[in-house]
Amino acid sequence: MKPNKYFWIVQLLCWSMTIMIGQNEALSPEVSLKQADQLYQDGQYKQAAALYSKIEAAGLTSSTLQYNMGNAYFKADSLAQALLHYERALRLSPKDAEIQHNIDFARKSIEFKAETYPLIFYKKWLKNLVDTFSSTVWLVLGVLLIWVAFWLARRFLYGKNKEEKKRFFGGASMVAFLSLLCLIFAFTKYGYEQQKAYAIIFTQEAQPIKTAPSEDSQTQFKLSAGNKIKVVDAIDDWTKIQLEDDKSGWIETKFLRTI
């Protein structure tokens, strides 16, 4: 379990809200977090998970909270809940190897699981590069580099000799290219941060994946609780899903929880 060391700012804000609405100190987020951590340490995993969930329901979240919730639910034998919160933690901290390790370990317990494939090396390298900063940081870097490119371009236009103009032209071109990359990374990372296209299957039994959005349609294959799938379409009470191996089918929406 990870310590909630980055929660002090959120705790301060919520403590202010707690005072405003006249709640008891015992219900403050700081106290609740300590209680949840202690319940986990004492082996009361269901109670710890329930308390973490109340904190999340109050509008607070972080990769640490989601990770600890995942651990509590996993210890409480709630595999789908555990994987849901591990995946949410990974969205907030995409380069955290510990979270990814727990996801891989928990997936081994899925009975009917979808095939997963490692990213091709260059795609993995690009993803790691994009995940280095948040979309806001990439955007700020892109804008700053644009200003630098304009400054170099101005020096090029008013250069005193060919050699100087050549240096400034090369510099402006390089910086403009880097600024474009930063802006592309910013929009890519923003799309990933806002992405709601993935979900976890929640069901008591292996769920049939249908060829059409109907109970009477043919079953193609089955998936157990905990599988991560991509949402591609929705009709009434049915959702069309897609797996990493490009298999697709329909499942009732009530069995899905968005990551």
Q: Is the pLDDT of residue 21 over 70?
A: no
Q: Report domain extents, the chain.
A: 8-107, 122-194, 198-258
Task: Describe the crossing of helices 135-157 and 162-194 by its angle, rounded to 10 degrees.
Answer: 160
Residue 197 pLDDT: 87
Q: What is the mean pLDDT of residues 21-37?
A: 69
pTM above 0.85, yes or no: no
Between 180 and 26, name the one with better pLDDT. 180
Pick the CATH number of 198-258 from 2.30.40.10, 3.40.50.300, 3.30.420.40, 2.30.30.40: 2.30.30.40
Is 11's pLDDT higher than 70?
no
Task: Identify the band that residue 179 occupies on the pLDDT scale cut at 50, 70 and 90.
Answer: very high
Residue 198 has pLDDT above 80, yes or no: yes
| CA 241 from centre of chain | 19
Of 112-116, 140-144, 221-225, 247-251, the one with minimum mean pLDDT is 112-116
For the sheet with 238-242, list strands across it: 219-223, 207-210, 248-252, 238-242, 228-235, 198-201, 256-258
Question: What is the C-alpha to C-alpha distance for residues 179 and 138, in angstroms, rounded to an integer?
Answer: 9
Statement: residue 42 has pLDDT above 90:
yes
Supply the pLDDT for residue 23. 46
Q: Specify the amino acid at residue 250.
A: W
Q: One fold for both 8-107 and 198-258?
A: no
- Tell whether the model's pLDDT for residue 24 goes beyond 50: no
CA distance 177 to 170: 11
pLDDT band at 246 (very low <50, low <70, confident <90, very high): confident
Q: What is the pLDDT of residues 132-150, one digit of tens each?
A: 898 999 999 999 999 999 9
Mean pLDDT of 3-17: 52
Which residues, at least 6 apart from 110, have a Cβ–Cβ distance to it below 8 Å? Answer: 79, 224, 225, 226, 227
> Any idea which fold 8-107 has?
1.25.40
Statement: residue 14 has pLDDT above 70: no
Confidence of residue 87 (pLDDT cuts 50, 70, 90): very high
237 closest CA partner among 227, 221, 252: 252
pLDDT tier for residue 16 given thresholds of 50, 70 and 90: low
Name the band, by pLDDT with cuts 50, 70 and 90, for residue 119: low
Helix, strand, coil shares, percent, the chain, to 5? 60, 15, 30
Quote the tokens at residue 149. Answer: 């490119």
